Amino acid sequence: MDFALSEEQELLQQTLRGFIENECPPSVVRESFDAEAGPDPGLWKGLVELGIAGLLVPEERGGAGLGLLEAALAAEELGHGAVPAPFLGHALACVALVAGGSDAQKRRWLPALASGEAVASVALAEPSPEGSDAWDPAHWRCRIEDGRLRGRKAWVPQAAGADLLVVALAGGRLALAETGAGGVGIAPLDGVDRTRRLDAVDLDAAPAEPLEGDALPRVRDAGLVLLAADAFGAAYRLVRMSAEYAQSRQQFGQPIAQFQGLKHQLADMALDVDPTRSLWWYAAHAFDHLPAEAERAAALAKAHITDRAVQVARGAVRAHGGLGFTWECDVQIWFKRTLFDRAWLGTPEVHRERAAALGGW
Amino acid sequence: MDLRYGEAYDRLREEVRDFARRSWPPRGDEARLDEREQQIRFRRRAIEAGYLSRSVPAECGGGGRAVDVLAETVIRQELIAADVPWRSPSPQGTDMLVPTLLEEGTPEQCRRYIPPTLVGEMIWCQGYSEPGSGSDLGSLQSRAELDGDHWVLNGQKIWTSSAREADMMFGLFRTEAEPRSRGLSYLLIDMRTPGIEVRPLTMMTGGIDFCEVWFDDVRIPAESMVGRRGEGWKVSKATLKHERMLIGDASYLERAFEDLLRLARETRRDGRPAIEHADVRQRLAEIEGFVATQTWASHRMLSAIAADRDMTVINEMMMAKLSLTNTMERIAELSLDLLAEGGLTAPTTDEGGMRQGWRTPGKWVSNYMMSLGLSIAGGTSNIQRNLIGERILGLPRDLRP
Q: Where are the domains of chain B?
A: 7-87, 124-230, 247-392
Averaged in consecutive runs of 10 residues, what is the pLDDT profile of chain B (401 residues)? 93 96 80 87 95 93 90 90 90 91 95 96 96 89 96 96 96 94 96 97 90 98 96 83 56 90 95 97 98 94 86 88 94 96 87 54 92 89 94 87 49
What is the per-residue pLDDT for B247?
A: 43
- Residue B151 dihedral angles phi and psi, to the nearest 5°: -95, 140
Q: B143 to chain A nearest CA, in Å?
A: 32
Any idea what the Cα angle at residue A87 is, between residues A85 and A92, rounded to 5°?
155
Which residue in chain B has the smallest CA separation from A301? B289
- Taking phi over 0 as left and psi of -120 to 50 as alpha, with beta for the rest, A222 belongs to alpha
Q: A76-88: per-residue pLDDT in tens?
A: 999 999 999 999 9
Of the partner residues B5, B307, B388, the one whose CB lies closest to the CB of residue A270: B388
Asked if the C-beta of A6 comes within 8 angstroms of chain B's C-beta atoms, the answer is yes
* Sites in chain A below the pLDDT cut of 70: 129
The domain made up of B124-230 has a fold known as Butyryl-CoA Dehydrogenase, subunit A; domain 2 (2.40.110)
The question of whether B243 is a catalytic residue gets the answer yes
Whether residue A243 and residue B394 make contact (CB cut-off 8 A), yes or no, is: yes
Asked if the C-beta of B21 comes within 8 angstroms of chain A's C-beta atoms, the answer is no
Among A237, A278, A285, A307, most B C-beta atoms within 10 A, so best to mutate, is A278
Q: Within a 10 A sphere around the Cβ of B396, how many other Cβ atoms?
A: 15
Give ipTM to 2 decimals.
0.97
What is the per-residue pLDDT for A48?
A: 97
What would the DSSP string read from start to end of A290-305? Answer: -HHHHHHHHHHHHHHH
CB contacts under 8 A, A 152-191 vs B, are: none
Ordered structural domains, chain A, with CATH: 7-115 (1.10.540.10), 120-210 (2.40.110.10), 216-358 (1.20.140.10)
Nearest one of B34, B383, B366 to B209, comparing CA atoms: B366
Q: Which helix (H) or strand (E) holds A245?
A: helix A216-248
Please check whether the domain covering B247-392 is classified as CATH 3.40.50.20.
no
What would the DSSP string read from start to end of B255-276? Answer: HHHHHHHHHHHH-EETTEEGGG
Asked if the C-beta of B305 comes within 8 angstroms of chain A's C-beta atoms, the answer is no
Of the partner residues A5, A6, A267, the one whose CB lies closest to the CB of residue B389: A267
Please answer whether residues A277 and B312 qualify as being in contact, where contact means their C-beta atoms are separated by less than 8 angstroms.
no
β partners of residue A188: A199
What is the per-residue pLDDT for A356?
A: 98
Nearest one of B115, B135, B133, B97 to B226, comparing CA atoms: B97
What is the per-residue pLDDT for B244?
A: 46
What is the per-residue pLDDT for B355?
A: 46
- Taking phi over 0 as left and psi of -120 to 50 as alpha, with beta for the rest, B76 belongs to alpha
Nearest one of A338, A353, A344, A267 to A308, comparing CA atoms: A338
Q: Tell me if residue A35 falls in helix, strand or coil.
A: coil
* Catalytic position from the list B243, B333, B341, B390: B243
Whether residue A243 and residue B382 make contact (CB cut-off 8 A), yes or no, is: no
Q: A274 to chain B nearest CA, in Å?
A: 7
Alpha carbons within 13 angstroms on the beta-carbon side of residue A11 total 5
Q: Where are the beta strands (DSSP E) in B225-365?
A: 225-226, 268-269, 272-273
* Chain A hits for B9, Cβ within 8 Å: 1
